[in-house]
């Protein structure tokens, strides 16, 4: 059962490139070839004899080619075990054994990408091909399946180097690849039909995978599942690591809040925003973002919401960083930044944030709706006597966007649409505030007149007291504590506006 000679083959492929070498090898080993339509004509054009499937089945290709190979005389020869019982049935019904199946499916995904014509898309859902793949893969003990042109090198090796004899290990490996192809194909079709659904299923194929250099640490294996090239055009640089991808995801999530803002630049480190600012030009935004924490910026991820020009490229080129992302790059900026070969430049094609988020925990996975809520200043409720000024409202909205994307517990301090200091990942909100104040003062910022945002409510008035003493002039928070009135009363006593959003932004 281990080694089996290939004596017959069924070939039905959409793309013909690379097939000529295989059919010449099959002909060399006197393999009987069955085929249909365009594949049959291609093989005959190379002077190789072909048995027509319609002669085998006594039925022509019908329904505009939708039914060609779907027949017992085809699938009987593929699915039959090579034992006395099954071989006897093949002989009784005059069905040939088929030892090798080569299939290349209709290009469904390419069609989806190239047109919105649903009729054309539906016609590229392969029926016979996918059935042939599954049938041959199921019977891997006796049959060789080549489910796509990606496997052509393996079948060429079997034919040329093994004298057309496949081992059980060969057949089982090709069956594994076949079920990967069929799983991916079915998932792509499902995703097409599911694109407007509210179903909680994954919207992306988990079959597309890329093995990474390692995971978070060198002793951990890492794999990325997904289609990164639908979101980005990678202009240059080394292969993205596990940590790079996690940081890039965080950067895109943050900057998605500022897509329609004036030029905005952000610096992230370990998924947390350590600097971000909005200015009239992108280079000014870069300088203001970097000032937020020039120490943490070293080795970070940089992202802009607008075209990265030469002036900005010259400035960021002075810093070591892993990845820079922008919707566009001026060509002279590309010429400069690509001089360092390992540096990754990524052009973002669309600001996509998944509707659902997932996390592996315990012996399962938890899922939730992605936090896409963002409260504009006109939706915030002022709960104090003092009202925020227009500049404070702008800063409070900016701060609320920042605080949403930092690990809880978190506090941010903002002035003039610039992150001055942040405290994140702390076990108490007071610790987060003290960290934010410490970082801001360490980098020379004057906190007088800044605003503060919190990811969750204040259970006690201690945070607003500390913030006011440090110079904070206005506060935004979700509210919802049974002791909200204590914080509100304190703000009223100091003439400090407090706004509440009603929306908590925990991030664990």
Three-state SS for 210?
A: strand
Q: Which two tokens stand for residue 133?
A: 């793949």
The pLDDT of residue 201 is 44
The pLDDT of residue 203 is 46
Q: Is residue 355 packed enough to be buried (19+ CB in 10 Å), middle (13-18) or exposed (0-12)?
A: exposed
Domain limits of the chain? 4-194, 226-348, 377-500
Give CA–CA dist 419/272, Å, rounded: 12
Q: Which two tokens stand for residue 161?
A: 């180097």
Which CATH class name applies to 4-194?
Answer: alpha beta
What value, to the nearest 5°, has the Cα angle with vertex 29 and ends 23 and 33?
50
Which CATH class name applies to 226-348?
Answer: alpha beta
Q: Beta partners for 103?
A: 12
Whether the CB-CB separation of 277 and 292 falls below 8 Å is answered with yes
* Phi, psi of 359, deg, nearest 5: -150, 135
Helix or strand (DSSP H, E) at 189: helix 168-194
Three-state SS for 357?
A: strand
The pLDDT of residue 3 is 82
The pLDDT of residue 128 is 79
Give CA–CA dist 252/301, Å, rounded: 10
The pLDDT of residue 204 is 46
Whether the CB-CB separation of 146 and 19 falls below 8 Å is answered with no
Give CA–CA dist 412/406, Å, rounded: 9
Averaged pLDDT in 10-residue chunks for the chain of 508 residues? 80 84 86 84 85 70 65 76 79 81 84 84 82 88 89 88 86 90 84 65 54 89 85 91 94 96 96 96 97 94 97 95 96 94 92 88 89 91 96 96 96 98 96 97 97 96 97 96 96 97 94
Place of tokens 């206005």: 474
* Phi, psi of 202, deg, nearest 5: -60, 140
Whether the CB-CB separation of 326 and 312 falls below 8 Å is answered with no
Give 434-439 contacts, CB < 8 A, sequence gap 24+: 434/466, 435/411, 436/411, 436/412, 437/413, 437/466, 437/467, 437/470, 439/293
Give CA–CA dist 112/258, Å, rounded: 30
CA 126, 127, 128, 134 torsion-angle sign: positive
The pLDDT of residue 404 is 95
Give 273-276 contacts, CB < 8 A, sequence gap 24+: 273/402, 273/405, 273/406, 273/419, 273/422, 274/300, 274/419, 274/422, 275/419, 276/402, 276/418, 276/419
Q: How far is CA 343 from CA 213, 244, 262, 483, 495, in A?
A: 16, 12, 26, 50, 49
Active centre residues (catalytic): 138, 270
Question: Would 4-194 and 377-500 be classified into the same CATH topology?
Answer: no
Which CATH class name applies to 377-500?
Answer: alpha beta
Give CA–CA dist 276/247, Å, rounded: 15
The pLDDT of residue 34 is 87
The pLDDT of residue 53 is 74
- E strands, 108-199, are 144-146, 165-166
């Amino acid at each position: 059962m281990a080694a089996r000679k290939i004596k017959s083959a069924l070939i039905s492929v959409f793309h013909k490139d690379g097939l000529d070498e295989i059919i010449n090898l099959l002909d060399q080993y006197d393999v009987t070839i069955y085929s249909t339509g365009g594949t049959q004509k291609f093989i005959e054009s190379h002077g190789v004899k072909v048995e027509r499937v319609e002669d085998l089945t006594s039925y022509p290709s019908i329904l505009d080619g939708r039914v060609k190979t779907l027949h017992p005389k085809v699938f009987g020869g593929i699915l039959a075990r090579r034992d006395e019982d099954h071989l006897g049935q093949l002989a009784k019904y005059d069905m040939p054994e088929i030892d090798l199946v080569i299939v290349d499916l209709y290009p469904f995904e390419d069609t989806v990408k190239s047109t919105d014509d649903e009729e054309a898309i539906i016609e590229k859902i392969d029926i016979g091909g996918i059935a042939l793949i599954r049938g041959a893969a199921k019977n891997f003990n006796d049959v060789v399946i080549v489910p796509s042109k990606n496997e052509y090198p393996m079948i060429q090796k079997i034919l040329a180097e093994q004298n057309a004899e496949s081992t059980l290990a060969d057949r089982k490996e090709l069956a594994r690849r076949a079920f990967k192809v069929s799983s991916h194909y079915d998932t792509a079709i499902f995703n097409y039909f599911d694109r407007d659904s509210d179903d909680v299923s994954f919207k992306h194929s988990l079959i597309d995978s890329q093995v990474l250099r390692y995971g978070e640490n060198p002793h951990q294996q890492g794999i990325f599942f997904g289609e990164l090239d639908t979101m980005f055009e990678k202009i240059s640089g080394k292969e993205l690591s596990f940590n790079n991808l996690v940081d890039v995801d965080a950067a895109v999530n943050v900057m998605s809040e500022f897509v329609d803002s004036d030029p905005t630049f952000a610096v992230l480190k370990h998924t947390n925003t350590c600097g971000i600012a909005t200015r009239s030009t992108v280079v000014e935004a870069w300088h203001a973002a970097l000032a937020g924490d020039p120490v943490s910026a070293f080795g970070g991820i940089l992202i802009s919401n607008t075209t990265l020009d030469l002036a900005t490229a010259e400035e960021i080129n002075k810093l070591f960083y892993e990845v820079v992302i922008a919707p566009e790059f001026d060509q002279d900026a590309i010429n400069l930044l690509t001089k360092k070969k390992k540096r990754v430049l990524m052009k973002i094609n669309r600001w996509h944030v998944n509707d659902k988020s997932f996390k592996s925990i315990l012996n399962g996975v938890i899922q939730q709706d992605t936090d896409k809520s963002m409260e504009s200043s006109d939706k915030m409720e002022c709960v104090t006597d003092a009202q925020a000024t227009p500049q404070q409202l702008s800063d409070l909205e900016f701060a609320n966007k920042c605080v949403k994307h930092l690990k809880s517990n978190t506090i941010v301090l903002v002035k003039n649409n610039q992150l001055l200091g942040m405290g994140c990942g702390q076990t108490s909100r007071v610790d987060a505030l003290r960290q934010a104040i410490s970082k801001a003062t360490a980098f020379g910022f004057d906190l007088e007149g800044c605003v503060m945002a919190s990811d969750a409510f204040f259970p006690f008035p201690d945070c607003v007291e500390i913030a006011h003493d440090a110079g904070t002039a206005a506060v935004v928070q979700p509210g919802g504590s049974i002791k909200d009135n204590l914080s509100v009363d304190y703000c009223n006593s100091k003439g400090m506006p407090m706004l509440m959003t009603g929306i908590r932004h925990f991030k664990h």
